[in-house]
């Protein structure tokens, strides 16, 4: 056997061994660094309040350990927030304190900011929103901080063409999904897509249908026929009740896609899906999730300050009205007593 000068089998084996050791160490350091650099949120409830902390996962774990091992008694949510702030733990980005009282509406809610999204972030009124964030991500991010989020017409692809208030909720593999139009709820009777076509000017129901394409393949034909019958000037509201895609065929999927729906969870068993579709323009607002999907649209004429107070008192949390995600988008922030950020 011939060998290259200066090399031996043992040396080759050694080089290979050290190479793999180097790769292993490099991967270990990289993965550990990446894991610790991931940011998450920690929500802590006490009494009628909540502290929300944004930071690195390792820092949030440290907070949990400190609270569990601390002998200090936290009488109020303010005490808990002060304790976390006083520890000066590295890796903590934001600490938010939210308190709900049982005061009268006009005493309980006040507008604390009216301006642009850029100014709200720069002044620390709301947490920083990453660039190019989508509206569903923005809502989830802000809700993790304890905010109730209401979007204005600037966030919607159909602007202000829809003149009624609608709310759609899909619970994934849990029952209870519904469509609400101007305060009245409509519930599906079967699994699958529950659809309601409405007149966008007044919310009047034109037609509705429920199609179980989870267990019955023949329901695809009925679904296609229904979709083709929806008037062009209508808006179509839709939610998945429990499951809708196990027996869905390509005809149903392609037609939904051609109409402007691009998040139909074909291949995602048990995913929730809700949408508001402008049939004529083929523009939709939709959300898909492995858990709960929810959309809430309030027409512009209902978005005055007194209406906000009524909405907020239904869900007593500090509330953000956001009419877009560009720096100059209008934003209103309504707060409750003692809410704050550190």
pLDDT tens digits for range 22-37: 555 545 444 444 443 4
Question: Does the pLDDT value for residue 144 go beyond 90?
Answer: no
Clarify whether residues 258 and 196 are in a common domain.
yes
Report CA torsion sign: 166, 120, 117, 52.
negative
Domain identity same for 188 and 273:
yes
Q: Do residues 165 and 185 make contact, with C-beta atoms less than 8 angstroms apart?
A: no
* Domain C-terminal end among 99, 120, 141: 99
Cβ count near 269 (within 10 Å): 13
The mean per-residue pLDDT over the stretch 94-122 comes to 69
- Residue 275's closest CA among 186, 195, 177, 163? 195
Quick count: other Cβ atoms within 10 Å of Cβ 286?
20
Are 167 and 261 found together in one domain?
yes
75 vs 338: CA distance, rounded Å: 15
Do 282 and 194 reside in the same domain of the chain?
Answer: yes
DSSP one-letter string for 187-236: --SSSEEEEEEE-TTT--EEEEEEE-TTT-TTHHHHHHHHHHHS-TT-EE
One domain for residues 161 and 226: yes
Burial 169-205 (b: 16+ CB within 10 A, else e): bbbbeeeebbbbbeeeeeebeebbbbbbbbbbeebee
Task: Please state, rounded to an integer, the average pLDDT across all residues of the chain.
Answer: 79
Residues 160 and 248 occupy one common structural domain? yes
* DSSP-assigned letter for residue 152: -
Task: Give the number of other Cβ atoms within 10 Å of residue 100's Cβ.
Answer: 20
Do 166 and 289 share a domain, yes or no? yes
> In this predicted structure, what is the pLDDT of residue 169?
94
pTM over 0.85: no
CA distance 65 to 18: 39
Q: How many domains does the chain have?
A: 4
> Of the ranges 25-29, 42-46, 80-84, 330-334, which one carries the lowest mean pLDDT score?
25-29
Are 172 and 89 within one domain? no
Say if residue 162 is in the same domain as residue 220: yes
Looking at residue 230, its pLDDT comes to 97
CA distances from 51 to 129, 174, 254 (A): 19, 29, 45
State the residue for tokens 């049939």: 279
Beta bridge partners of 56: 39
166 and 287 belong to one structural domain: yes
Query: Which DSSP category does 253 fall into?
Result: H
CA distances in angstroms from 308 to 8, 64, 105, 225, listed in the order given: 79, 35, 10, 40
Determine the structural domain holding residue 166 and report its residue range.
154-297
- 279 plus 165 within the same structural domain: yes
Q: Are residues 309 and 250 in the same domain?
A: no
**Angle (nearest 5°) at CA 213 between 209 and 215:** 125
């Amino acid at each position: 056997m011939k060998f290259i000068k200066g090399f031996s089998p043992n040396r080759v084996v050694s080089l290979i061994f050290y190479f793999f050791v180097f790769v292993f160490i490099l991967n270990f350091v990289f993965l550990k660094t990446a894991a610790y650099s991931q940011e998450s949120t920690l929500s802590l409830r006490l009494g009628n309040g909540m502290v929300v902390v944004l930071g690195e996962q390792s820092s949030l774990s440290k907070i949990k350990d400190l609270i569990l091992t601390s002998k200090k008694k936290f009488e109020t949510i303010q005490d808990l927030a002060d304790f976390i702030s006083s520890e000066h733990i590295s890796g903590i980005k934001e600490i938010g304190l939210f308190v709900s009282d049982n005061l009268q509406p006009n005493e309980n809610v006040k507008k604390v900011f009216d301006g642009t999204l850029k100014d709200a972030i720069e002044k620390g009124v709301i947490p920083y929103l990453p660039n190019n964030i989508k509206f569903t991500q923005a809502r989830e991010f802000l809700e993790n901080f304890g905010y109730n989020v209401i979007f204005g017409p600037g966030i919607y692809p159909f602007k202000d063409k829809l003149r009624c208030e609608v709310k759609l909720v899909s619970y994934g593999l849990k029952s209870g999904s519904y469509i609400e139009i101007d305060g009245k709820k409509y519930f599906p009777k079967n699994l699958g897509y529950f659809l309601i076509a409405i007149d966008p000017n007044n919310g009047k129901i034109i037609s509705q249908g429920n199609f179980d394409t989870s267990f019955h393949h023949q329901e695809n034909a009925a679904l296609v026929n229904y979709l083709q019958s929806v008037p062009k000037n209508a808006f179509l509201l839709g939610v998945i009740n429990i499951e809708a895609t196990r027996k869905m065929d390509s005809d149903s999927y392609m037609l939904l896609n051609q109409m402007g729906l691009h998040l139909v969870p074909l291949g995602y068993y048990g995913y929730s899906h809700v949408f508001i579709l402008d049939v004529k323009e083929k523009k939709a607002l939709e959300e898909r999730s492995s858990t709960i999907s929810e959309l809430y649209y309030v027409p512009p004429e209902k978005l005055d300050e007194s209406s906000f107070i009524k909405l907020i008192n239904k869900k007593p949390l500090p509330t953000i009205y956001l009419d877009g995600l560009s720096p100059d988008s209008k934003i209103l922030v309504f707060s409750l007593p003692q809410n704050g950020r550190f």
